[in-house]
A and B are shown apart, each in its own frame.
Chain A
Amino acid sequence: MAVAEMLKVELIAPARLKSPLLKKFQQAALIQIEESARELPHEEMSINEIDKLHTLEERLHQAIVYLKAWSGQSGFKKLLTPRPTLNKNEIETLRHDSTWLKILQTFEALKRKRDEISAQIRQLEREKALLQPLASLALPLDKVEKFKETDFICFSLGTLPLASLEALEEHLRHEPFWAGEVALMAKRIVMGVIYLKEKEYDVREVLERLGWEPYSLSEFVVSFLKKGETAAQVMKRLDQERENLARAGAEIDQEIKNLTGHLEQLMKAADIITNELRRQEAFQRLGRTQKTIYLKGWVLAENKEKLISLLQPYQQKIYLNLSQPSPEETPPIALDNPPLFRPFELITRLYGLPQPRSLDPTVYLSPFFFVFVGLAVSEAGYGLIVSLASLAALYFLKSKGGLRTFLKLLVYLGGANILFGSLVGGWFGYPWRKVLLIDPLRDPLSFLLLALVLGFLQVWFGTLLNLLQEIKKKNYSRAIFVDGGWLLLLPSLIGAGLTGHRLGWLLAGLGALGIIFFSSPARNPVARFFGGLYNLYDISRYLADVLSYSRLLALGLATSVIAMVVNTLARTAWGIPWLGWLIAGFIFIGGHLFNLGISFLGGFVHSMRLQFVEFFSKFFRAGGRPFQPLALEGKYIEFE
């Protein structure tokens, strides 16, 4: 029940064994491989190959994301389906099986075709929109395109701002040209203009001053249109074309949809590639010479035998050394607690893993955390709901890893509330008088006292843990006089304050002396004395720490009062004729669910803060790095 013991692994093997060894290690998930690569001229595995694997992985991920969106599973159903599993023996066969690669290629070809069609459809729509202003033009478009001028007159099509229409009419009276309206757009008007060729220069100048913009058909339309077709006819044909494309697109969609049946195969392949990449990256970390590889890493001491038997077949060819880490080395951290306490590791992890050779606080914080959440929420009814819901989720979701641990923790915390809710709270706002020890609404001071006593216990216990830790580090004087001093001073001060007994004052003074003379690191005795005296001032910190636990009362009361408010409102609503029962039911269920949410959030977060700020500050230093053995880990699937 502490930080798990680690052994250093050193292994030298012939280079040709690298692949089988790494594969074995990955399957066994025993060792974390450290960086020990040296600059060596000989590189067996080129970066190129890693790049290739990366690209393949990326392609698979893209295909999976796309196909998943097509598979049409709803969110809830997806949550309930367990992840597909893959036997370790199947890995090799699947890796060299080319079916999934073919599926991937088929998918990519279809996807490319689909993208092309989508692009074409978009273009057709754009072209149609561009032609829209000419829809009412009876002139065939090829005439518009070709018919620009004769020997004497010119024709041109263009748009003018609506605002310059009046000015145009004015000009029409004097200038020798004719203009005809073709269509109205939002702010401009499409016009055809015919004028004498000899006046071309003047007319153009007038038109430009009015804001004329020549209208020309796009290249696409020019190549698309047939002789004698008007704009309306071309647009109709564009529509037909678009429909054809859409139909073709739908056919491809169907083909892609058919591929979703192979989704599982792709997911397996993706995870296999990912793990192969991980192995290659581990290989990059190895030390290498032309003929040998050197591996440095860590293994859990309890897995020593497993590692040795794993390497049994290679015994003759490799050199293996397992040793205790030297004091300068920092092994990675794995927590090792009895199953009962394991869910609480979540809280330790959140703060940070302990440093090597220090204490794992999980077991020590668990009972406190359990009680604190129980007091801060203190609602047995909510506890029951949370426990049952978490149990159901554990049973149905079959989740692994972090979520599973969290759900287990919630089962505990729900249980804590069933217990403490009955003792000092209520069931959905109604206290159960028979078992009620303290009614926090009528007697908040007793509850406050309980919270402060628990707080004092935890702070004192934290100091005791620090004492034990200092002894382990062989700082005897610090452990006995300073930590011991506080451990003696704090309770005897309270005892003296309560009873006024002389012994209490005596013991408190004794503790204070230890702190005064041993807490300062200074060598000069005067500085040491005053430094120690100053450190005695820390007592205000202890006081503040203990008072901080009063939040348990406030949070517990908040839950009870809101539950009561909900009940009162529901009761009031009950009196409404006809629909009263329905409204009351809504208020009761909705109100209590809301209260459950905020009170559990508050209870959880504040109890956690009490561990982190008040408890951990006494003895715990985080800063360990997690133990992450080379292992088979799936993004989509579980490896068996």
Chain B
Amino acid sequence: MALGLTIALLGGALAVVLGGIGSAIGVGLAGQASSGVMSEDPEKFGSLLLLVALPGTQGIYGFLSAFLVILKLGLTGGSPVAVNFYQGWQILIACLPVGLTGLVSGIHQGKVCASGVYMVAKQPKDLMKPVIMAALVETYAVLGLLITILLLNGIKL
């Protein structure tokens, strides 16, 4: 019983940690690039902020998946649902899509955003174009989130 719950919690933790790492690295990359640009042109803060914030979604997806796990386990109400060994593993596996896609896509989205920052430095009017490019990378985190939600929804406790 307790083992099942532990494994399930590990799943939730993985979702939020892996997504968070991806986003942290991604936002970090874009943030460094934008600080460089802003040292020349401080007025660009507003438009660059958008590009820097963009790789942050993976962390949020991981966070909300973890929250769904918490809800599913009934941890908020103080009366946890009984989870057996197999159900624990099921929840952990359900968390992997959002965690792993978030980890990798967050880093790569950060790179795309960083180069987008340089583009905006030279072509301030074309802000939305790198944003769309970054969204192409994010697609896979969104799909990972989708499958995690569907899997979590399908697991019977």
Residues of A within 8 A of B (CB): 350, 444-445, 448, 548, 550-551, 553-555, 557-558, 561-562, 565, 568, 598, 601-602, 605-606, 608-609, 612-613
Interface residue total, chain B, C-beta cutoff 8 A: 27
Mask of B71-82 contacts with A, CB within 8 angstroms, 1/0: 000001000000
Interface residue B149 (Cβ < 8 Å from any Cβ of A): yes
The CA-CA distance from A550 to B138 in the complex, in Å, is: 13
Query: Which 9 A-B pairs rank lowest in CB-CB distance, beginning with the nearest?
Result: A554-B146, A561-B64, A605-B135, A551-B142, A554-B142, A554-B145, A609-B135, A350-B128, A565-B67
Partner of A558, one of B54, B64, B128, B139: B64
Cross-chain contact B150 with A444 (CB below 8 angstroms): yes
**Docked pose: A609 CA to B134 CA in angstroms:** 10
Q: Separation in Å of the B96 CB from the closest CB of chain A?
A: 16
Q: How far is the CB of A19 from chain B (nearest CB, A)?
A: 32
Interface of B is mostly: helix
B127-143 contacts to A, CB under 8 A, are: 128-129, 131-132, 135-136, 138-139, 142-143
Contact check, B60 vs A558: say whether CB atoms are below 8 A apart. yes
Are A557 and B142 interface neighbours, CB within 8 A? no
* Smallest beta-carbon distance A397→chain B, Å: 16
Q: Which chain A residues border B54 with CB–CB below 8 Å?
A: 601
Q: How far is the CA of A444 from the CA of B145 in the complex (A)?
A: 13
List B contacts of A445 (CB < 8 A): 150
Q: Inside 8 A of B60's CB, which chain A residues have their CB?
A: 558, 562, 598
B119 close to chain A: CB less than 8 A: no
Q: Which residues of B contact A598 (CB under 8 A)?
A: 53, 56-57, 60
For A601, list chain B residues within 8 Å (CB).
Answer: 50, 53-54
Report chain B residues within 8 Å CB of A350: 128-129, 132
Query: With the chains together, A555 CA to B150 CA distance in Å?
Result: 13
Residues of B within 8 A of A (CB): 50, 53-54, 56-57, 60-61, 63-64, 67-68, 76, 128-129, 131-132, 135-136, 138-139, 142-143, 145-146, 149-150, 153
Bound CA–CA A10/B2 (angstroms): 86
Interface SS of chain A: helix
Closest residue to A568 on the B side, CB-wise? B76
* Contact of B67 with A561 in the complex, beta carbons under 8 Å: yes
* Shortest Cβ distance from residue A635 to the other chain B in the assembled complex, whole angstroms: 15
B146 near A553: Cβ-Cβ < 8 Å: yes
**A558-B60, A605-B131 as given contacts; A548 in contact with B139, CB under 8 Å:** yes
Complex CA distance for A350 and B142, rounded to whole angstroms: 23
Bound CA span A435–B129, Å: 37
Decide if A606 touches B142 in the complex (CB within 8 Å): yes
- Min CB distance, B94 to chain A, in Å? 13
Asked if A602 contacts B132 (CB within 8 A), the reply is no
Q: How far is the CB of B151 from chain A (nearest CB, A)?
A: 11
Q: Are B68 and A613 in contact (CB under 8 A)?
A: no
A45 to B60, CA, bound (A): 62
Let me know if A609 and B132 touch, CB within 8 A. yes
Alpha-carbon distance between A554 and B153 when the two chains are bound, in angstroms: 13
Most buried by A among B61, B129, B132, B139: B132
- Are the CB atoms of B132 and A554 closer together than 8 Å? no
* Bound CA span A548–B146, Å: 11
In the assembled complex, how far is the CB of residue B102 from the closest CB belonging to chain A, in whole angstroms?
12
Complex partner residue of B61 from A448, A558, A608, A612, CB under 8 angstroms: A558
Which chain A residues lie closer than 8 Å to B129 at the CB level? 350
**Can you report 28 residue pairs joining A to B where beta carbons are below 8 Å apart?**
A350-B128, A444-B149, A445-B150, A448-B146, A550-B143, A551-B146, A553-B146, A554-B145, A555-B142, A558-B64, A558-B145, A562-B64, A565-B64, A565-B67, A598-B53, A598-B57, A598-B60, A601-B50, A601-B54, A605-B132, A605-B135, A606-B138, A606-B139, A608-B132, A608-B135, A609-B136, A612-B132, A613-B136
Contact of B57 among A548, A557, A561, A602 (CB under 8 A): A602
Nearest chain B residue, comparing its CB with the CB of A443: B153
